[in-house]
């Protein structure tokens, strides 16, 4: 592969710098992603966490350059993938990248497959498109289905998606995602639509694949328990911005941002029943008119005077643990 630019840091698969993706609607500009910066190391599983509408899916679509047009637009920022700026690539180059070095798994396994084409055909597309054909295509598909533990793949390859259960469909989608051993796999809520028992199986599978092929994963979810189970690092988004990022152990041991603390507290824990569940009052702000200062300020119980007027800068409080909150120093 041609290296157009080599200004990325070594060991980093992805570097996102000050990404802003806005939607231009009749009612005004929705700042869905507003100044997001993070990076992903090789072989790392990063959890991107937040409530619906916090911009986590739009961040991932921006990386894939699949933001719905023409309403949505990446306004500014740089996305370096393997040191190459994705913004400068042509649509053709982008298409060649997707499904090959950079791939994505979508949320609802039953909806994201075409119901009237066989599983084998849809899986084969990944190889056909990226010129890795030959008469071994069918074998390749069978081998990849074997890898994601679909039972008797040589028979099931000719079945249609509706003949698969939700868990099996998700395995097929994962197999499409990892078919070409991508450098980065973005999984958008891969287990949300599945049963707990199947969820555990799929997470286990993803962890294994990541270890085996060195693929980095960005796991988008609102489920903190899932994150704790497989991620190495956690990024929390709120109303279009990153409020905290930390290595997974530090994240659960010493969460810093008041929003993160609330989020962790609101997870119902099995066997630790309380009379009332903890819940965060209020709702996330409307991104048409976000608050001027910190976006969590209207719901925050520890808000200071400065929180209302100025957005807090990101501050590193321990190795790799960064938080944007005025409670952690004002310089």
Partner 1 sequence: MIISVNHLKKHFPVIRGKIFSRSVGYIKAVDDISFFLKRGETLGLVGESGCGKSTTANMLLGLERPTSGDIRIGGRDITRISGRDLFDFRRNVQAVFQDPFRSLNPRKKVKQIISEPLMVHHVGSKADRMRRVLELLDLVGLEAHHAGLFPHEFSGGQRQRVAIARALSINPEVIILDEPVSALDVSIQAQILNLLIDLQKEMNLTYLIISHDLAVVEHVSNHIGVMYLGHLVELAPRDELYANPVHPYTRGLLDSVPVADPENIKAVALEGEVPSPLNPPSGCTFHPRCPVCGPKCRTHAPMMREVSTGHFVSCHH
Minimum Å gap between C-beta 87 and partner 1 is 31
Beta bridge partners of residue 23, listed in sequence order: 30, 72
- Find the binding residues for partner 1 in span 244-263 (CB under 8 A): 248-249, 251-252, 262-263
| Contact residue for partner 1 among 25, 136, 254, 283 (CB under 8 A) | 283
| Contact residue for partner 1 among 3, 116, 196, 319 (CB under 8 A) | 196
| Contact residue for partner 1 among 214, 268, 313, 329 (CB under 8 A) | 268
The 3-state DSSP class for residue 89 equals coil
What beta strand segments (E) does 177-298 contain?
184-188, 216-221, 233-238, 241-247
| Residue whose entry in the numeric block shows the structure tokens 């592969």 | 1
**What is d(CA 260, CA 50) in angstroms, rounded to the nearest whole number?**
9
Minimum Å gap between C-beta 108 and partner 1 is 12
Give the per-residue contact string, 215-234, with partner 1 (x = CB under 8 A; - = no): -------xxxxxxxx-x---
**What is d(CA 127, CA 179) in angstroms, rounded to the nearest whole number?**
8
Give the per-residue contact string, 136-175, with partner 1 (x = CB under 8 A; - = no): -----------------------------xxxx-------
Q: Is 40 left (phi over 0), alpha (psi -120 to 50) or beta?
A: beta
Instruction: Give yes or no for a contact between 234 and 246, defined as CB atoms under 8 angstroms apart.
Output: yes
Residues 6+ apart with CB under 8 A from 288: 25, 27, 28, 29, 30
Task: Tell me whether residue 283 is exposed, middle or buried, using C-beta atoms within 10 angstroms of its C-beta: 0 to 12, 13 to 18, 19 or more.
Answer: exposed
| Contact residue for partner 1 among 203, 206, 210, 237 (CB under 8 A) | 203
Minimum Å gap between C-beta 178 and partner 1 is 19
27 binding partner 1? (CB under 8 A): no
Minimum Å gap between C-beta 93 and partner 1 is 36
**What is d(CA 249, CA 169) in angstroms, rounded to the nearest whole number?**
32
Give the per-residue contact string, 51-70, with partner 1 (x = CB under 8 A; - = no): xxx-----------------
| Contact residue for partner 1 among 29, 71, 88, 277 (CB under 8 A) | 277
Give me the residues that bind partner 1 (CB under 8 A), please: 51-53, 165-168, 195-201, 203-204, 222-229, 231, 248-249, 251-252, 262-264, 266-271, 273, 276-280, 283-284
């Amino acid at each position: 592969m041609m290296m157009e630019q080599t200004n990325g840091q070594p060991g980093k698969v992805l570097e996102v710098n000050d990404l802003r993706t806005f939607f231009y609607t009749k009612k005004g500009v929705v700042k869905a992603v507003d100044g997001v910066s993070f990076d992903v190391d090789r072989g790392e599983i990063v959890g991107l966490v937040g409530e619906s509408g916090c911009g986590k899916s739009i961040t991932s679509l921006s990386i894939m350059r699949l933001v719905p047009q023409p309403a949505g637009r990446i306004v500014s920022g740089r996305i370096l993938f393997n040191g190459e700026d994705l913004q400068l690539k042509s649509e053709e180059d982008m298409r060649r990248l997707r499904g090959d070095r950079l791939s994505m798994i979508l949320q609802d396994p039953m909806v994201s497959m075409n119901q009237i084409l066989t599983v084998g055909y849809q899986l084969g597309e990944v190889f056909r498109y990226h010129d890795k054909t030959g008469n071994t295509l069918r074998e390749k598909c069978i081998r990849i289905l074997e890898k994601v533990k679909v039972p008797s793949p040589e028979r099931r390859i000719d079945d249609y998606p509706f003949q698969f259960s939700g868990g099996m469909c998700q395995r097929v989608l994962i197999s499409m995602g990892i078919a070409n051993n991508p450098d980065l796999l973005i999984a958008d809520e891969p287990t949300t639509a599945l049963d707990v028992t199947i969820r555990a199986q799929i997470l286990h599978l993803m962890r294994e694949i990541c270890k085996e092929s060195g693929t980095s994963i960005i796991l988008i979810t609102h489920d903190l328990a899932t994150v704790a189970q497989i991620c190495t690092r956690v990024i929390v988004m709120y109303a279009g911005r990153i409020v905290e990022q930390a290595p997974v152990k530090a994240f659960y041991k010493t969460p810093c941002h008041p929003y993160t603390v609330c989020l962790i507290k609101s997870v119902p824990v099995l066997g630790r029943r309380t009379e009332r569940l903890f819940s965060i009052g209020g709702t996330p702000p409307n991104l048409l008119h976000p608050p001027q200062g910190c976006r969590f300020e209207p719901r925050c119980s520890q808000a200071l005077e400065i929180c209302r007027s100025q957005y807090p800068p990101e501050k590193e409080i321990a190795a790799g643990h960064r938080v944007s909150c005025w409670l952690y120093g004002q310089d």
